[in-house]
């Protein structure tokens, strides 16, 4: 599929330019794909499964299902967004809000402003929700920072910044600046941008040490991916110190995909008198992501299983998580030898290098991303149809890391897309870890026999 240039299916023509992220560049406005024969239908199904065609049908169905996190009863118009923002939302291809957007936006846009602690599954539109809230509150005629958004990593700050730029594209007076390492401003600078987005350390320096802006004038403070934030040494304290500089009237918003007790305690310290949107444990995993495990005996067997999976199904893009840099390096080498276009991302790389790797992957220049760690958390790449846990996530004591599991599998199945998560189990210990993960989320993870190609094909259908 990745090589096809043009496809005629019934009266629908799909053209693909591989240099454009492998996405079809001509997608009919209508949500119905008409197919006149079975071969064409099966071809189209494969395209949809491999995420090469944006399956808007599926999103629409989910948005009408009250049990889905994408369910909404209201339209964006009913959420009373400014016309320029509505235009931005529609230009991004959003038709209706998701559940978190529909529930959180009225609270965030209320007068007087209300504080919020919100949880929603990965890929259900939290970022879009708080970006809309920030853009709704800024006064573009005032040339100083009014909204702060703190993200746990450089990559996520850049990603969120892009969403702000896209959503705010018709609101051109609103400007954005990145408080991230590497963006060095001369002493004495007074920022004119209305939105500052960055990582906690640099943000703290900018408002505390360098006084690039006056924290007392901030109207909205957003803390994104709170669970990832508290995993990084120092981020929790830095975030709290920033929050302490803000006026009492400032609206505090905190988002997270998971809420272990530690996240909860942190959230309560940051957000006084909050409205709370919280999920039940069994709602945390998405039904659109199918989860499997594969039994192996060694690293080489795991690699063979991976090759079998690649041999049986069309994978638009995949993310593969390993426990150590050594395994990740080895695996990336083996996959390259097999002819895959592989990107390797690991913690010892410079932040700029990491951002460049993610950008290339997002553009579809590489189809497989092998990675070890947190810099892949929260990364939103629509085309990721498969996540492989080459090694299961464990904490430093070797216990299952449920939070990381959820973040990893959440890289697929973005906004209603179907996703596959495959876990490689290679010992009694890792089987034990997998069982605990199943128990924690109260979700069965089925066994997959990767020697049986038909069975692999079936799970992707
Ligand atoms: N209402 C909507 N309609 C269609 N697509 C949407 C809508 N809201 C968000 N999206 C898209 O869905 C994807 C996931 O959204 P977003 O990144 O905001 O989710 P998230 O909950 O912040 O994810 P994570 O927990 O992984 O950070 C993005 O590609 C975004 O453009």
* Paired tokens of 458: 């079936």
The domain spans of the chain are 38-279, 289-460
ipTM exceeding 0.90, yes/no: yes
pTM of the model: 0.78
Distance 321 CA to ligand 1 centre (A): 22
Q: Which of 40-54, 172-186, 263-277, 306-320 shows the lowest mean pLDDT across its residues?
A: 40-54
- Average pLDDT in the 278-299 region? 88
Distance 414 CA to ligand 1 centre (A): 7
User: For the chain, how big is the Rg over CA atoms in Å?
Assistant: 22
- The backbone torsions φ and ψ at residue 421, rounded to the nearest 5 degrees and listed phi first, read -120, 125
Q: For ligand 1, atom 27, name the residue with the nearest CA.
A: 378
Distance 211 CA to ligand 1 centre (A): 33
Query: In this structure, are residues 335 and 367 in contact, taking their beta carbons and an 8 Å threshold?
Result: no
What is the three-class DSSP state of 309? Answer: helix
Question: If you average pLDDT over every residue of the chain, what do you get?
Answer: 85
* Ligand 1 atom nearest to CA at 124: 21
* Ligand 1 atom nearest to CA at 96: 1
Distance 122 CA to ligand 1 centre (A): 8
For domain 38-279, give its CATH number from 3.60.21.10, 3.40.50.300, 1.10.238.10, 3.40.50.10800.
Answer: 3.40.50.300
Q: For ligand 1, atom 2, name the residue with the nearest CA.
A: 94
CATH number belonging to domain 289-460: 3.40.50.300
The DSSP result for 151-162, as a single string, is -SSHHHHHHHHH
What is the reported pLDDT for 348? Answer: 81
User: Angle at CA 445, nearest 5°, toward 442 and 449?
Assistant: 170
Distance 273 CA to ligand 1 centre (A): 27
Q: For ligand 1, atom 3, name the residue with the nearest CA.
A: 94
What is the three-class DSSP state of 290? Answer: strand
Matching fold, domains 38-279 and 289-460: yes
Distance 428 CA to ligand 1 centre (A): 37
* Ligand 1 atom nearest to CA at 93: 4
What is the reported pLDDT for 122? Answer: 84
* Ligand 1 atom nearest to CA at 416: 12
Q: State how far the Cα of 323 lies from the Cα of 9, in Å rounded to an integer.
A: 43
pLDDT above 50 for 274: yes
Q: For ligand 1, atom 16, name the residue with the nearest CA.
A: 125
Distance 355 CA to ligand 1 centre (A): 20
- Average pLDDT in the 147-163 region? 94
pLDDT above 50 for 131: yes
- Average pLDDT in the 220-242 region? 92
- Report which of residues 3 and 374 the model is more confident about: 374
What is the reported pLDDT for 287? Answer: 82
**β-pair partners for 253:** 116, 222
Distance 10 CA to ligand 1 centre (A): 32
Q: State how far the Cα of 233 lies from the Cα of 39, in Å rounded to an integer.
A: 55
Residue with tokens 């906004």: 415
Pocket test for ligand 1, best of 75, 135, 415 (most atoms within 8 A of CB): 415
Distance 423 CA to ligand 1 centre (A): 25
pLDDT > 70: percent of the chain:
83
Q: For ligand 1, atom 12, name the residue with the nearest CA.
A: 415
Q: For ligand 1, atom 25, name the residue with the nearest CA.
A: 122
- Average pLDDT in the 107-125 region? 89
Q: For ligand 1, atom 15, name the residue with the nearest CA.
A: 125
Q: State how far the Cα of 376 lies from the Cα of 369, in Å rounded to an integer.
A: 9
What is the reported pLDDT for 167? Answer: 95
* Ligand 1 atom nearest to CA at 125: 18
* Paired tokens of 254: 């905190």
Tell me the C-alpha to C-alpha distance, in Å, between residue 321 and each of 156, 229, 382.
Answer: 18, 20, 18
Ligand 1 binding pocket (C-beta < 6 A) is 94, 97-98, 101, 120, 122-128, 257, 378, 380, 382, 410, 414-415
- Average pLDDT in the 310-339 region? 92
Q: What is the pLDDT of residues 388-399, one digit of tens each?
A: 999 999 988 989
* Ligand 1 atom nearest to CA at 128: 18
- Average pLDDT in the 149-167 region? 94
């Amino acid at each position: 599929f990745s090589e096809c240039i043009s496809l005629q299916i019934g009266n629908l023509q799909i053209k693909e330019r591989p240099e454009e992220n492998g996405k079809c560049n001509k997608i009919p406005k209508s949500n119905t794909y008409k197919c006149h024969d079975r071969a064409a239908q099966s071809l189209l199904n494969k395209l949809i499964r491999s995420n090469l065609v944006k399956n808007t049908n599926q999103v629409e169905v989910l948005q009408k299902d009250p049990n889905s996190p994408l369910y909404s009863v209201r339209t964006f118009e009913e959420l009373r967004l400014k016309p320029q923002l509505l235009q931005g939302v529609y230009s991004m291809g959003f038709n209706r809000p998701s559940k978190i957007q529909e529930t959180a936006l009225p609270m965030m846009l209320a007068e007087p402003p209300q504080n919020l602690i919100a949880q929603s599954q990965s890929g259900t539109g939290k970022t879009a929700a708080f970006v809309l809230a920030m853009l709704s509150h800024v006064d573009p005629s005032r040339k100083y920072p009014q909204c702060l958004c703190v993200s746990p990593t450089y990559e996520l700050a850049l990603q969120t910044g892009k969403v702000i730029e896209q959503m705010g594209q018709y609101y051109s007076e609103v400007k954005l600046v990145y408080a991230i390492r590497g963006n060095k401003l001369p002493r004495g600078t007074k920022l004119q941008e209305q939105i500052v987005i960055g990582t906690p350390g640099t943000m703290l320096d900018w408002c505390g040490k360098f006084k690039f802006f006056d924290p007392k004038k901030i109207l909205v403070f957003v803390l994104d991916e709170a669970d990832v934030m508290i995993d990084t040494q120092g981020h929790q304290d830095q975030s709290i110190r920033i929050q302490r500089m803000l006026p009492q009237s400032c609206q505090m918003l905190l988002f997270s995909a998971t809420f272990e007790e530690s996240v909860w305690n942190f959230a309560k310290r940051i957000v006084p008198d909050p409205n709370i949107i919280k999920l039940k444990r069994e709602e945390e995993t998405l039904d659109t992501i199918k989860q499997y495990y594969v039994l192996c005996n060694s690293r080489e067997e795991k690699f063979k299983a991976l090759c079998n999976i690649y041999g049986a199904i069309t994978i638009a893009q995949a993310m593969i998580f390993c426990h150590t840099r050594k395994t990740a390096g080895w695996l990336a080498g083996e996959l390259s030898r097999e002819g895959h276009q592989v990107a390797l991302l690991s913690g010892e790389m410079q932040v700029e290098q990491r951002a460049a790797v993610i950008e290339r992957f997002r553009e579809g220049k590489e189809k497989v991303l092998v990675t070890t760690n947190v810099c892949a958390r929260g990364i939103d790449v629509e085309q990721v149809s498969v996540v492989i846990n080459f090694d299961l996530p464990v904490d430093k004591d070797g216990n299952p890391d449920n939070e990381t599991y959820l973040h990893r599998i959440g890289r697929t199945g973005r906004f209603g897309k179907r996703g596959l998560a495959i876990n490689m189990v290679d010992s009694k210990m890792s089987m034990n870890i997998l069982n605990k993960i199943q128990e924690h989320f109260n979700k069965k993870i089925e066994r997959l026999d990767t020697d049986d190609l038909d069975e692999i094909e079936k799970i992707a259908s």
